[in-house]
A and B are shown apart, each in its own frame.
Chain A
């Protein structure tokens, strides 16, 4: 066994130049504003945060280890449970990684439906962020409004996959099944009214003096620190770094969509709020383009040894039945190699690193989730600020502990 080096948190010596005894305050793991089970150990000088240590691992379930014992296709439902607020984004990232290993081409229709549903997932994720963030600050009302819209998104997910949260709708090689006939009309109806809803949230918050004062100038993160600390996504873009994987390294057909990447330069909680609100508006634009230009054709790749056959074919054709039996019982072999696939999820850059040794089970699956890296920047953002600002900052970086602990 390898020995740890470093200081256990609670025995940390007081920071240099401290006049009085500092107090060590424990916050969490059961605390309403830590968005799950995050524990923070804070060293405070009166009300001022001197040091801050996040303690994580309370939700660690060893998903990466579990993946090594499953067939490639059996990993898909595990990915839903990592970032449980953005199931489709997880599915997409994993499927793209394995498809890259297999060098599999995905039909255009499947790609477009993937983009459509991933953007809906982003809205879902941002709605939860907005509701809980506002609730942390004390504006309870917004939560009820955002969850009203989120409910409709979950109903759409249910109609498409049979599940509200753990969708597993994207599969290696395409989609699980053809979406229901009324899906596109339903999404169209939803996004028709959604811009008004964003204005409604904005009316409740943007002009609210308490909300503004709690966010403006709080939790500053410089662009240099954002890059150095591996912070990604809206938090990075609020610090003035103009980089978005959807635009700059497109995947799954994103290069065919026109959208703007909102950025701000203030780098504080307020900038992060504005960036995410703008992102929701841009997502609506992408969804509209996907609906307007939705191509026809198959939703699964033409790879009978990898993609499960349609139910109908399986019951009428011997070949299809054999393939189905083989895939379910033995899986499919994936050529040896390693790939890293990054996508832009609601929280930032998500990445799956999949290593294959040529068998039907992944040799190693590593998941890079944005929250894990963003948490490192928490101390930089909170140092020297008031204790109450910590709550505002945690809300503004939009973390999900499921993805941090995996």
Chain B
């Protein structure tokens, strides 16, 4: 990549042209070009935006492409804009010594996305955490319960419309 490391590549087309040999970009493009709806290469980090319905399959695709280790997963609440929630999956490759970010945008009304626990069982706690603190449902998760807050807690504390002091 060399030169590309210093620059910013914004947009799907720019990334496809700038990083055609990138293993993850290539794998996703071969698997289903329509699933990739956006891409960004910024500050040395590659972000691939995936359509929400295809996240599990996209995770399986990058796993086969050599991005073998799930590292982290979390959400960002862009309240009040829509789609409201951004899910960021950070996936590491032990072979390429590199990390990619898969991004999924989820709507604020009845937020739900497919669980990737069948691809990486290690995403179990992370999805529970996002469910607990953001209220996003993960379909197909084996045990989707609150993890950090008490079972009977009302509300999802990391949402932007949740006051820092809690509800009074």
Tell me whether A and B are bound partners.
yes
- Interface residues, chain A, with chain B CB atoms under 8 Å away: 1-2, 4-8, 56-57, 60, 62, 64-66, 68-69, 100-101, 103, 227-232, 241, 243, 248-249, 337-340, 342, 349, 351, 353, 355, 363-364, 366, 368, 372-373, 375-376, 405-406
Contact with A along B118-162 (1 / 0, CB 8 A): 001111111001010101110001111111111100111110000
Contacts of A405 in B (CB 8 A): 148
Residue in A closest to B94 when the chains form the complex, CB atoms: A243
Q: Quick one: which of B45, B71, B136, B156 contacts A230, CB cutoff 8 A?
A: B71
Shortest distance in angstroms between A50's beta carbon and chain B's nearest beta carbon? 16
B interface bracket (residues with beta carbon within 8 Å of A) = 35 or more
Contact of B144 with A6 in the complex, beta carbons under 8 Å:
yes
How far is it, in angstroms, between the C-alpha of A65 and the C-alpha of B75 when the chains are bound? 13
B65-107 CB contacts (< 8 Å) to partner A: 68-72, 74, 76-77, 88, 90, 92, 94, 97-99, 101
How far is it, in angstroms, between the C-alpha of A373 and the C-alpha of B74 when the chains are bound? 13
How far is it, in angstroms, between the C-alpha of A7 and the C-alpha of B146 when the chains are bound? 11
Contacts of B120 in A (CB 8 A): 228, 230
Most chain A CB within a 10 A radius of its CB, from B43, B76, B123: B43
Residue in B closest to A364 when the chains form the complex, CB atoms: B76
Contact of A230 with B123 in the complex, beta carbons under 8 Å:
yes
Residue in A closest to B134 when the chains form the complex, CB atoms: A2
How far is it, in angstroms, between the C-alpha of A275 and the C-alpha of B38 when the chains are bound? 42
Contacts of A229 in B (CB 8 A): 121-122
Please tell me if B42 contacts chain A, counting CB pairs below 8 Å.
yes
Contact of A355 with B76 in the complex, beta carbons under 8 Å:
yes
How far is it, in angstroms, between the C-alpha of A56 and the C-alpha of B125 when the chains are bound? 11
Contacts of A60 in B (CB 8 A): 148-149
Shortest distance in angstroms between A39's beta carbon and chain B's nearest beta carbon? 12
Q: Quick one: which of A1, A231, A355 contacts B155, CB cutoff 8 A?
A: A1
Q: Quick one: which of B70, B99, B149 contacts A340, CB cutoff 8 A?
A: B99
Please tell me if B30 contacts chain A, counting CB pairs below 8 Å.
no
How far is it, in angstroms, between the C-alpha of A184 and the C-alpha of B97 when the chains are bound? 33
Known: A4-B151, A363-B76. A353 touches B122 (CB 8 A): no
Shortest distance in angstroms between B18's beta carbon and chain A's nearest beta carbon? 18
Known: A363-B76, A368-B71, A376-B122. A342 touches B142 (CB 8 A): no
In the A-B complex, list the 7 residue pairs whose CB atoms are closest, starting with the nearest: A230-B122, A368-B72, A57-B148, A6-B143, A366-B74, A229-B122, A60-B148
A to B contact number (C-beta, < 8 Å): 121
Shortest distance in angstroms between A118's beta carbon and chain B's nearest beta carbon? 20
Please tell me if B1 contacts chain A, counting CB pairs below 8 Å.
no
Shortest distance in angstroms between A13's beta carbon and chain B's nearest beta carbon? 14
Contacts of B156 in A (CB 8 A): 1-2
Known: A6-B142, A227-B69, A228-B120. A56 touches B147 (CB 8 A): yes
Known: A8-B145, A229-B122. A2 touches B135 (CB 8 A): yes
Contacts of B77 in A (CB 8 A): 364
Contact of B45 with A340 in the complex, beta carbons under 8 Å:
yes
Contact of A353 with B147 in the complex, beta carbons under 8 Å:
no
Contacts of A231 in B (CB 8 A): 122
How far is it, in angstroms, between the C-alpha of A355 and the C-alpha of B149 when the chains are bound? 23
Residue in A closest to B153 when the chains form the complex, CB atoms: A1
Contact of A230 with B151 in the complex, beta carbons under 8 Å:
no
How far is it, in angstroms, between the C-alpha of A363 and the C-alpha of B160 when the chains are bound? 10
Contact of A65 with B157 in the complex, beta carbons under 8 Å:
yes
Q: Quick one: which of A69, A337, A349 contacts B42, CB cutoff 8 A?
A: A337
13 contacts between A and B (CB under 8 A): A5-B145, A6-B141, A7-B143, A62-B157, A64-B158, A65-B164, A100-B43, A230-B120, A230-B123, A230-B126, A243-B69, A337-B42, A376-B124
Contacts of B155 in A (CB 8 A): 1
Contacts of A249 in B (CB 8 A): 97-99
Contact of B76 with A228 in the complex, beta carbons under 8 Å:
no
Contacts of A64 in B (CB 8 A): 133, 158
Contacts of A340 in B (CB 8 A): 45, 72, 88, 90, 99, 101
Known: A230-B69, A405-B148. A338 touches B122 (CB 8 A): no
How far is it, in angstroms, between the C-alpha of A248 and the C-alpha of B154 when the chains are bound? 43
Contacts of A353 in B (CB 8 A): 72, 74, 88, 90
B33-59 CB contacts (< 8 Å) to partner A: 42-45, 47
Known: A6-B143, A339-B43, A349-B71. A56 touches B148 (CB 8 A): yes
Contacts of B92 in A (CB 8 A): 342
Contact of B125 with A375 in the complex, beta carbons under 8 Å:
yes
Contacts of A375 in B (CB 8 A): 125
